[in-house]
Chains A and B, each alone.
Chain A
Amino acid sequence: MLRQMIRMECRKAFRNKMFYIAVAEGCIITLFALVYYIGIYQNELTMMQADDVNPMHEASGLFNFWIGGEPFSFGSAAYFFMFPLLTAFPYGWSYCGEKRSGYIRIAVVQAGKKAYFLAKYTAVFLSGALAMVIPLVFDFLLSALFFPAVMPSPVYCTSTGVFYDSLMSMLYYTVPLLYVLIYLLIDFIFGGLIACISYAAACFVRYRVVAVILPLFFMLAVHYLRQFVYISAEVRYREISPMFFLRPVQAAYPASFAVIFAEMAALFFVTFFLSVIWERKHEIY
């Protein structure tokens, strides 16, 4: 029954207009970054042809010109700011809607509470994760049509934005594709968990729009914590804001696996507890 329920919830999550709209919005935002970088790259090519200077091929390639590889185009800034909304749009609102419409009562009678809540969590997670990653993959593949996949060199670390203490910097300068894939995996998991915040929020709020917007405020609150944590200019802190560490490039402080896994675990336990364990014990009639 659980498998059937998961299949049904996933079908509902992936075959709805909101999922397509969220993915399309994400892809459109990434296009801003792509267009910006095509301009920069063409400019560089023109300069290279005009002057007989070091072409610095390693400083301008696919791995630092795709949306995840640069922290300063509007596309990149907008994508890594709006992603909490983009991940919640596809299916984060569904539990709110089903509670209000009474659908949950029919579903629980048919499948049982455990199967329903677990299936819902899985579907929300997967829809958010895919809404986060599809635009990034789209941009990476599209960028690959325009920029050469040159192996980045640490000599140009100021251009690539990956420094000696950046997360997986060794991998970036040796197997950059694997570096990108690992980051996409991290973004996939985080995207899913952030979407689950709206599912967990739906246990307390009645309106879909509120449930969908809350993950953005949660992320902003975590980001604001930086103001209280990063108080010394001398200390080299680790990045705590997902709005920065989910970028495959260092935007401020270097990311660390310890922080990423700790936040992942915290998000998973809180959202899973609230939406599956805590909510299951509540009366649905």
Chain B
Amino acid sequence: MRFIRYFLFDLKQGALHNKALLLTPAAIGALVFLDFLLKAHRYLAIGAIEESVSYGDYWFYLYGGMKEYTPGPDNAFSFPVVWMIVFVAVPFALVNYPFRDMGGIGQQILVRSRSRNIWWLSKCCWNFVGTVLYHLLLQAVGAALFLLFRMDLTYRIHMDFIRVVYDALHEELWERSALPLAMLVLPVLVSATVNMLQMTLSLFVRPMFGFFAATLLLLASAYLMSPVLAGNYAMAYRYDWMLKGGVTGRAGLTVAAALLVAALLLGLVRFHFYDILEE
């Protein structure tokens, strides 16, 4: 009961009253939509794609990431800017609240609750729900704009568009026509894992260094296609569903869930000894 009360409080203060969490996905969603729309029109005009794009393509544009990078003098690394913005904005929107809540009234609540575990678990749930909310808003803004422009609001994808955007070779991708619903979950789960890792790490070092580490992890994932780097499971382009020899969704679920639980437990132990007065 106490946990639910705390969680609802966190949800209200840290998510519903968090302007960054609500406005950032709206702004990013609108900007990426504009970019996506202009690109699609351009490709259509020059004949690079055969028919107009659908919502599935927009989703893929948001969460696609980048193709596997092969280092070489004639191939400079260019990070996937849309994907980086989408995934780095969440830790930014969520970085401050738990630590802000350790001072002032939050500190009083924490002291009077007499249970650090409940406080931490409530923050973990808030973090997860906040991440889901962010991604829902991001996609909802896109869907609303699709409706506004009377575009095809289905999860159909166009391989010719994907090939042009990701500069993919014909033989390295499977031929697909629609996004499976199960696939929509994994990027959000990985995003929640990264945020949880950041929050836990911020108990050991300052929150800004926690953010630094989370960003570095995402960049490393973009640079190196490896099943060890969790960010790879947040790139739809690198799933074996799309890319031949890509990372598997099952492994992604396992890695993300394991890291999520590990971060939660590690944070639980660390927070038990955390000096809240120093904050």
Contacts and interface: CB of A to CB of B under 8 A. Distances in A.
B215 A216 contact: yes
A277 interface: no
B76 A81 contact: no
Contact of B219 (A72, A73, A81, A158): A81
A209 B75 CA distance: 35
A129 interface: no
A89 B215 CA distance: 15
Given A78-B220, A213-B95, A72 B75 contact: yes
A207 B96 contact: yes
Contacts of A70: 73
A72 B71 contact: yes
Contact of B78 (A82, A89, A228, A252): A252
Contact of A252 (B20, B76, B209): B76
Interface stretch (A6-14, A110-118, A219-227, A264-272): A219-227
A167 interface: no
Interface in A163-200: none
Interface string A69-101: 011111011100110010001000100000000
A252 B81 CA distance: 14
B208 A85 contact: yes
A74 B31 contact: no
Contact of B76 (A71, A89, A228): A71
Nearest to B205: A21
Most buried by A among B31, B207, B208, B209: B208
Contacts of A122: none
Interface in B246-277: none
Nearest to B212: A85
Contacts of A44: none
Contact of B216 (A82, A223, A226, A252): A82
Contacts of B89: 217
Interface string B65-92: 0000001111111110110110011001
Contacts of A216: 88, 215
Nearest to A233: B46
B224 to A, nearest CB: 7
The size class of the interface chain A forms with chain B is 35 or more
Contacts, number: 92
Nearest to A88: B208
A227 B32 CA distance: 10
B96 A210 contact: yes
Contact of A220 (B71, B81, B99, B100): B81
B35 interface: yes
Q: For A71, A207, A227, A251, which residue has the most chain B Cβ atoms within 10 angstroms?
A: A227
A82 B72 contact: no
B92 A217 contact: yes
Interface in B1-28: 20
A71 B88 contact: no
Contacts of B31: 224
A159 interface: yes
A207 B72 CA distance: 41
B119 interface: no
Contacts of A159: 73
B183 interface: no
Nearest to B84: A220
A197 to B, nearest CB: 15
B211 interface: yes
Contacts of A71: 76-77
Contacts of A262: none
Nearest to B28: A224
Which of A77, A228, A250 is most buried by chain B, counting CB atoms within 10 A of its CB?
A: A77
Nearest to B77: A77
A220 B208 contact: no
B38 interface: yes
B63 interface: no
Most B-side CB within 10 Å, residue of A74, A226, A231 = A74
A281 to B, nearest CB: 26
Contacts of A279: none
Nearest to A59: B73
B3 to A, nearest CB: 27
Interface of A: 21, 25, 70-74, 76-78, 81-82, 85, 89, 93, 158-159, 161, 207-210, 212-213, 216-217, 220, 223-224, 226-228, 231, 249-252
Given A82-B219, A224-B31, 9 more contacts: A71-B77, A78-B223, A161-B73, A213-B95, A217-B88, A217-B89, A217-B92, A220-B81, A251-B77
